[in-house]
Amino acid sequence: MTVRSLQHVALAVPDAAIGKKFYTDFGLEGRDDGNRAIMRCHGRDQDQVILVEGPKKRMHHVCFGASAKGLAALKARLQQNAVRLLDPPNEAPGPGLWFRDHDGLLVNVREAEAAPWLDGQELSFNYPHRIGRPGQPGYPPRDTQVRPRRLSHTLRFTPNFEKQIDFYTRIVGLKLSDRAQNIVAFMHSGEGPSDHHIFGFITSDKPGYHHASFEVGNIDELGMGACRLLDKGYRDGWGFGRHVIGSNFFHYIRDPWNSLAEYSCDIDHIPAGMDWKPTNYAAEDSLYVWGPKPPEDFGRNFESED
């Protein structure tokens, strides 16, 4: 296998400053780099979202990390499968291999590993059978900073559902975690421990960017982050709830271009060497265990309409 981490997503947007403002409000930290804005998580030495200028919002590329050995194996597989290697793009250059998937998305796999991220504060809960916080109030300070710790995963729309799963598992080196029929599929890294999913697809008539998800320290940060963005006037995407596939708590907020940014925590973890057996969920039992009903536009591919 090859891919061991999701390193960053790059989005082309009409105005990088608007994107930088959104992700700063979301809790990331940004810096300008010429026409680009580069967003990171507090205390973590890794780019997470790169905003480059483009006429319309599109995912510009996705970047995965691999070992040197994994990268060499990937190069051989790409050549065996007649996938053309490309030069790095001028507007977002970087090392490693560059190629396109079945939907034309630019993919970069470079020698890199995930940088360490900050700890989350562990919450103590009072359960009916076990008091975890005797004599102590549990509410978080009102000035708690909401700081996403890292980019967790990203999901794309595709009209080539099976082809894309095949491409990313057989050639790029991800592994299928779980799927729901021909609607949605999630993949984890092919090497080492991994979140339940770092990349995935949802069926659509055209390619597009659905969301990126960022792990916060705990459920208080998730709730406070979403409420603060709603107070600032950003539009609710969907939440608060708990997913079935991956189990993570979620709250999605619409970004300025009608795609979504997700706060998440407590996603399922797949240890290194574990042979995770994918489940093919029924469509009606795949999305969430509890939470408000998803809004009608949750699965709408706005990119296919412009």
Give residues in contact with Fe ion (CB under 5 A): 213, 262
Distance CA 299, CA 198 (A): 19
Question: CA nearest 252: which of 232, 272, 229?
Answer: 229
Q: Which is nearer to Fe ion, 2 or 213 (CB)?
A: 213
Q: Kindly state the greatest CA–CA separation across the chain.
A: 65
Q: Which is nearer to Fe ion, 161 or 252 (CB)?
A: 252
Q: How far is CA 99 from CA 87, 106, 110, 195, 197, in A?
A: 8, 6, 12, 25, 22
Q: At residue 67, what is the residue type?
A: S
Distance CA 120, CA 89 (A): 36
* Closest CB 75 distance from Fe ion, rounded Å: 30
Q: Which is nearer to Fe ion, 70 or 211 (CB)?
A: 211
User: Which runs of consecutive H residues, i.e. helices, occur in 129-189?
Assistant: 161-166
Distance CA 216, CA 199 (A): 18
* Closest CB 153 distance from Fe ion, rounded Å: 6
Distance CA 102, CA 165 (A): 10
* Closest CB 176 distance from Fe ion, rounded Å: 16
CB–CB of 189/4 below 8 Å? Answer: yes
Instruction: Name the residue whose CB lies closest to Fe ion.
Output: 213
* Closest CB 6 distance from Fe ion, rounded Å: 12
Q: Which is nearer to Fe ion, 78 or 210 (CB)?
A: 210
Q: Which is nearer to Fe ion, 97 or 211 (CB)?
A: 211
* Closest CB 262 distance from Fe ion, rounded Å: 5
Q: Which is nearer to Fe ion, 96 or 164 (CB)?
A: 164
* Closest CB 246 distance from Fe ion, rounded Å: 7
* Closest CB 172 distance from Fe ion, rounded Å: 19
Q: Which two tokens stand for residue 35?
A: 């026409």
Q: Which is nearer to Fe ion, 54 or 299 (CB)?
A: 299
Question: CA nearest 66: which of 7, 4, 115?
Answer: 4
DSSP three-state, residue 179: strand
